[in-house]
Structure 1
Amino acid sequence: MIQRCSDPKPIGDGLSAALARLEAARETHRKKIEAAALPGETFEQAETRLQHEKGQGARVAPDGSAKSDLSPAMIRKPPKGDEQPDFFVPTLYDVGGRDSRSLMDVAVFRLSKKDKRAGEVIRYDLSDGYVEVKAGSDGMASVWDYDVVIMAVSHLTEAMNRYREGRGDKPGRTFRPYVSDILKFCRRSDGGRQYEEVEAALDRLKTTTVKAVRRVKGKNGRILREASHEGLISDYRTVSQAEDGKLLSVEIEVPKWIYEEIVSGKNPDVLTVHPDFFLIEPGIGRFLYRLARRAAGKGAARWSFQTIYERSGSTGEFKKFCFTLRKLIAADDLPEYLLREEDGQSGPQLIMRYRGTPDLEISAGS
């Protein structure tokens, strides 16, 4: 039996099909790289990073981002319904996050979820004085509790901007959000326990105080010593449903030093915070972002592991702290900043560089 071959196709048709397949593969590759790119990362940087991770056992997370199996990710998945609505007027949670620059290079909170550190004191010796963080009987405020302070700073700054532009009244020290607004701003789910934890966080924020002592030059040239001592919030009041205790709303009084810092000057000393900051899971990762945001800005900064350890308020061993720090460097998914370790005369150094920037001169940390 003789099997007849089908009529041959023109060479041009086969070439067109091959080119179409190649173009489709390129488009798939492009979408994969763009989906895995970190905030501020260029296409080329993301492609290089993924190729490097592939050789070290990389995997793709459910949200499309590439993670290394050797290094746990810092960023958790956002909760359901996390998308911001496209409104013309910002809601209480739809305002860009801002933090007080004066407190971004020391931890005025604990970084551990487990160790409550009730009654403890952390002291940071600085070049012009020192800062003491004192915890009350409810425990020291955590870096996750501090999200509420960031929200208050953000809305106070926004209100002052509107006031200076003639679009609103001058804000007072009392901030009145709904609990649902707090959870939405901090990118947390609205489960029942989250509502309970908000009031507990307010207890810790009120009883965690910051004492700052600085040496300043007076008008006559004499060196003066200034000291201030206030809580991370001054006071609060909550309204709950009597039947089940579910929190409905809160009133938070911003401490005087934060209020004066934002209201008194023409250019408040605050810095924007990337929305993904609230998704950073480990406490040390959150501290690193705040440090990089202040020290590196849109450029780069170099800090020794030892100085970062001292400024973090960590109670663990320095060796274990370095191990954790290197895991975060390997994960390299901090919003906006690349992390790299280098050797230095005083020990290992952390290089924090804004993503997408060239190799600029690196400023040294304290």
Structure 2
Amino acid sequence: MNNERGKGPQQIGEALGDLDKSLARLKAAHDAQRQKRIEAAARPGESWEQAAARLREEEARAERERGSGSVKSAPPASSIRKPPRGDEQPDFFVPTLYDVGTKDSRSIMDVAVFRLSKKDRRAGDVIRYTLPDGHVTVSAGAVGMASVWDYDLVLMAVSHLTEAMNRYREGKGAKPGRVFRPHVADVLKFCRRADGGKQKDDLVETCIRLNTTHVAVQRTRKAKNGRTVTVSEGEALISRYKVIKSESGKPEYIEIELADWMYREITEGKNPDVLTVHPDYFLIDPGIGRFVYRLARRAAGKSAAKWAFQTIYDRSGSAGTFKEFCRLLRKIIQANDLPEYELREEAGQGGPLLVMTHRDHADAELPPPAGV
């Protein structure tokens, strides 16, 4: 203190310089804290700028609510579950069920060939979808219909088959076969699930349900001679399976054989049509949320699309009422945290519409709504 006083009065310029430095340090600390907060709050598929803009809007809305004396409502429940401990997931290419074939087969990609409910096993149930050029029938076995979570195993198998075919076409490997034999730990890692005993045991039932859920497709199309023909074909989601257990009785390896039509369309097509599935797809908890994401990838792609609530309900295979389906769908819209896509509801002439917009194309021009 005495030394400081001994320096004599400080010049105004020096004092202001010190103040500027202090303010600069405070601003840098504030900016760093804000950067971390925005990064932590960013939703899957959302850029830093988009997250920052959303947070500014939320803060402004909260300020308006405080000014008006309104009570702040609880935030909507997230559609995304937390990843398991140690989760690391690289990007990968995953063809969806009907997205690997010809242009004709794309017309039936946006239907659920599995159940979306975790609780209702739907053993022995039949779902029939009527489409412009035919219909799709999904039949469940005695142990229950395959679920959208069971189908993760098919996604993994088809993903690896696609990558192996890419290497084969580049002359870097042999042509892959229909059989896929991963370690159970690799399956759980790919599907972003915990590596526990129950999760491993559940994979056995997954294989059974995939093997006993039958998908029949009937389509009407023009033959080469100009005649109109109807083609019907069907197969289970996987042709066969084998589970290899360790000495402790826990599943160690799973061997599945892909459906023949799926294998042929990936290996025989010159340019199989492959969609990129966001890694956070596997973290989407509600079955309807997963179906909406798949629909958005198919219909909106990198731009935007509108679908009627009624059409989404009809294509989902839901066993619940339309009213309950709308309630669950609105919860997902309110959370608005699905990977890559912004969701909002819009009034339509025939009922409510779901607007799905890729976050990189917020100003995209929307096509006419589907199913209206």
Q: TM-score, normalised by structure 2?
A: 0.88
**Unaligned ranges ≥5, structure 2:** 64-72, 100-105
Tell me how far apart the structure 2 counterparts of residues 96 and 294 of structure 1 sit (CA, whole Å): 14
AA in 1 matched with 2:342? L
Structure showing the higher helix proportion among its residues: 2
CA contact (8 A) 1:74 1:280 kept: yes
CA contact (8 A) 2:95 2:273 kept: no
Tell me how far apart the structure 1 counterparts of residues 60 and 129 of structure 2 sit (CA, whole Å): 42
- The residue that corresponds to 1:292 in the other structure is 296
What per-residue deviation string (whole Å, max 9, x for no partner) do you get for residues 3-62 of structure 1? Answer: x9996571210122012202221221122112322233233321232234446779xxxx
Tell me how far apart the structure 2 counterparts of residues 344 and 218 of structure 1 sit (CA, whole Å): 38
**Residues 330 and 84 of structure 1: is their aligned pair in 2 closer, same or farther, counting only changes over 3 Å?**
closer
Tell me how far apart the structure 1 counterparts of residues 360 and 217 of structure 2 sit (CA, whole Å): 36
1:107, CA displacement in angstroms? 0.6
| Aligned with 2:213 (options 196, 202, 208) | 208
**Unaligned ranges ≥5, structure 1:** 59-67, 86-93
- The residue that corresponds to 2:111 in the other structure is 106
Higher mean displacement: 18-27 or 128-137 = 18-27
- The residue that corresponds to 1:139 in the other structure is 144
What per-residue deviation string (whole Å, max 9, x for no partner) do you get for residues 198-221 of structure 1? Answer: 010000000001001101100111
Tell me how far apart the structure 2 counterparts of residues 218 and 37 of structure 1 sit (CA, whole Å): 51
Matches within 5 A, 1:151-230: 151-230=156-235
**Residues 23 and 7 of structure 1: is their aligned pair in 2 closer, same or farther, counting only changes over 3 Å?**
same
Q: TM-score, normalised by structure 1?
A: 0.89
- The residue that corresponds to 1:302 in the other structure is 306
Question: What's the Cα RMSD here?
Answer: 2.1
Over the matched positions of the two proteins, sequence identity in percent amounts to 57
Tell me how far apart the structure 1 counterparts of residues 320 and 220 of structure 2 sit (CA, whole Å): 31
AA in 1 matched with 2:350? S
Q: Which has the larger radius of gyration?
A: 2
Size of the aligned set, in residue pairs, is 345
Instruction: Kindly indicate whether residue 338 of structure 2 is the aligned counterpart of residue 341 of structure 1.
Output: no
1:343 partner SS: strand
AA in 1 matched with 2:322? F
Higher mean displacement: 349-358 or 145-154 = 349-358
1:273 partner SS: coil
- The residue that corresponds to 1:33 in the other structure is 38
**Residues 150 and 358 of structure 1: is their aligned pair in 2 closer, same or farther, counting only changes over 3 Å?**
same
Instruction: Kindly indicate whether residue 127 of structure 2 is the aligned counterpart of residue 122 of structure 1.
Output: yes
CA contact (8 A) 1:79 1:189 kept: yes
2:137 partner SS: strand
CA contact (8 A) 1:343 1:349 kept: yes
1:251, CA displacement in angstroms? 1.1
AA in 1 matched with 2:170? E
